[in-house]
Structure 1
Amino acid sequence: MQQKPTVLITGASTGIGAVYADRFARRGHPIVMVARDIERMQKIAARLRIETAVEIEILKADLNESADVMKIETRLRDDSNLGVLVNNAGTALPGTFIEQSSEDVTRLVGLNVTALTRLASAVAPRFARAGQGAIVNIGSVVGLAPELGMSVYGATKAFVLFLSQGLHLELGPKGVYVQAVLPSGTRTELWQHAGRDVNAIEGVMDVDELVDAALVGFDKRETVTIPALPDLAQWERYEAARTAMLPNLRQQRAAVRYQRTA
């Protein structure tokens, strides 16, 4: 029997990444876990080896460090057994934009945007040549909602959605599946990073339910999966409104409302 493709998961020591490792292992996929906290990964890996009998590999990496990103890029480029990348590693910041330091903002963008993009860039050419493979990018509904007040975090997640949609258009015809998963509030440690008490927030989803729902979308080959959205038609109308504007966005002249009158 042919071995199932290996799944590389970033941010795999806790939260969404840890549950993805569990679920893909239970599907029979070998797992490569990537995170900074090696002790946590070792505990998860030891349990999964016993419960699933699949191969679990641990790679310690800080994806805000270029050398560590390069190490994971090399693995993604060179390991033909790796068939799924789950770009999950990410963080948030406490406070408002004017309260956040430029150094912290730089690290946030580095992890949520730069590292994610570099890893997708490393693996996409190999997937395209093979005519198969999957890239799962974990975004957030915050990327659709500046009203929620997490300006830089939301901007990074808007980038993740746009990148995923763009890669779907570019790589989909080549046989590569790209999925953007947009969680709403989920019970993970991210809230601690954001300086928020998760128990004081309404409508927070359990992380197991979030990942299980995301995997339903994965199996359906959805481009965008929003586990908390009850009415798919709302997203379809949102997309229809956006695409309806496209013919009007390339005009030789400015719109009449912007033209000066005598």
Structure 2
Amino acid sequence: MNQLVNKSVLITGASSGIGAVYADRFAKRGYDLVLVARDRTRMEALAERLRRETGVAVDILQADLTDAGELAQVEERLRTDTHISILINNAGASITGSFVDQSPDEVAKIINLNITALTRLTSAVVPRFAKTGDGVIINISSVVALVPEFGLTIYGATKAFVLFLTQGLHFELGSKGVYVQAVLPASTRTEIWERSGWDMNALPPTMEVDELVDAALVGFDRRETVTIPSLPDAEQWNTFDAARQIMLPNFNQVDAAARYHLVS
């Protein structure tokens, strides 16, 4: 995508990891930035470096997106700041243990961040994008959305929501000039692991975050709806999606399939 003059990118979870690298890459493309995260100190250090190295303008919004009041402030910025042409929904979290071991409060917190906040921010900006006929939404999902066998039930379910939301918005907004991309990282070396209680040393080899974001931006420039940086053969995804579409005519039958008829 070519830079739009005086346009900016709002990035959640921007203080470290994937969000910080996205900030670096879009600043180098000439976009101004709005950084959103809880850690103001790290955002200020990142902002100072990017201003110095690229000359772009960088604003900081310190916010905990699980706090309704602070989330509302970011929503308002997205609704009213017409310079923001790209929203990157990157903020997210996971928790250790199986579903049976996780408390309702822990589960609710993950859902609030990974689903509710992401959806509300998207909802805040979409009407403006649709009206102007441009704009981009990048949603960070995960390959876990496709792999219930991994056992990360709540995290995977939230990321499956993000994937579905992205695909649905693609069909709703693509004809209106709005581009929506889901990025599905595999295991990536970010702080989400330690914050979630995982031991990085006990994990299998992980992708470096710079490589992940650079690959995701190739998909962005190609206007992919679903980008899976670790997938070597794009035809595997195409085959998977085609198999789903083959079933579509059968989802709207008025009678139950014969295989469900009781044998008398």
Q: Which TM bucket (shorter chain)?
A: over 0.9
Q: 2:218 aligns to what? A: 216
The one of 251, 254, 264 equivalent to 1:252 is 254
Q: Distance in 2 between matches of 1:232 and 1:197?
A: 32
Q: Distance in 2 between matches of 1:229 and 1:145?
A: 14
Specify the code of the residue in structure 2 equivalent to 1:202.
P
Specify the code of the residue in structure 2 equivalent to 1:82.
I
Q: 2:242 aligns to what? A: 240
Map of 1:138-177 to 2, 5 A cutoff? Answer: 138-177=140-179
Map of 1:1-262 to 2, 5 A cutoff? Answer: 3-262=5-264
Q: Distance in 1 between matches of 2:257 and 2:70?
A: 48
Specify the code of the residue in structure 1 equivalent to 2:138.
V
8 Å CA contact retained: 1:13, 1:34: yes
Q: Runs of 4+ in structure 1 displaced over 6 angstroms?
A: none
Seen in structure 2, the aligned counterparts of structure 1 residues 230 and 203 have a Cα distance that, compared at 3 Å, is farther
Q: Distance in 2 between matches of 1:221 and 1:133?
A: 13
Q: Distance in 1 between matches of 2:156 and 2:178?
A: 26
Deviations 1:149-170 (Å, cap 9, x if unpaired)? 1000000000000000000000
8 Å CA contact retained: 1:92, 1:194: yes
8 Å CA contact retained: 1:9, 1:87: yes
| Secondary structure at the counterpart of residue 85 of structure 2 | strand
Specify the code of the residue in structure 2 equivalent to 1:189.
E
Q: Distance in 1 between matches of 2:149 and 2:106?
A: 22
Q: Distance in 2 between matches of 1:239 and 1:203?
A: 28
Q: Distance in 1 between matches of 2:127 and 2:166?
A: 15
Q: How many residues align?
A: 262
Deviations 1:103-162 (Å, cap 9, x if unpaired)? 010010000000000000110010000000000000000000000010000000000000
Seen in structure 2, the aligned counterparts of structure 1 residues 103 and 2 have a Cα distance that, compared at 3 Å, is closer
Q: Distance in 1 between matches of 2:125 and 2:205?
A: 35
Q: Distance in 2 between matches of 1:26 and 1:151?
A: 37
Q: Distance in 2 between matches of 1:151 and 1:189?
A: 20
Deviations 1:151-200 (Å, cap 9, x if unpaired)? 00000000000000000000000000000000000000111133222233
Give the superposed CA RMSD: 1.1
Identity of aligned residues (%): 60
8 Å CA contact retained: 1:4, 1:28: no
What 5-or-longer segments of structure 1 have no aligned partner? none
What 5-or-longer segments of structure 2 have no aligned partner? none
Specify the code of the residue in structure 2 equivalent to 1:257.
R
Specify the code of the residue in structure 2 equivalent to 1:80.
T
TM-score normalised to the size of structure 2? Answer: 0.97
Superposed displacement of residue 257, structure 1: 1.2
Deviations 1:63-89 (Å, cap 9, x if unpaired)? 001111111111111111100000000
TM-score normalised to the size of structure 1? Answer: 0.98
8 Å CA contact retained: 1:94, 1:193: no
Superposed displacement of residue 59, structure 1: 0.3
Q: Distance in 2 between matches of 1:125 and 1:2?
A: 19
Specify the code of the residue in structure 2 equivalent to 1:29.
Y
Deviations 1:41-76 (Å, cap 9, x if unpaired)? 001011111001100110000000111111111111
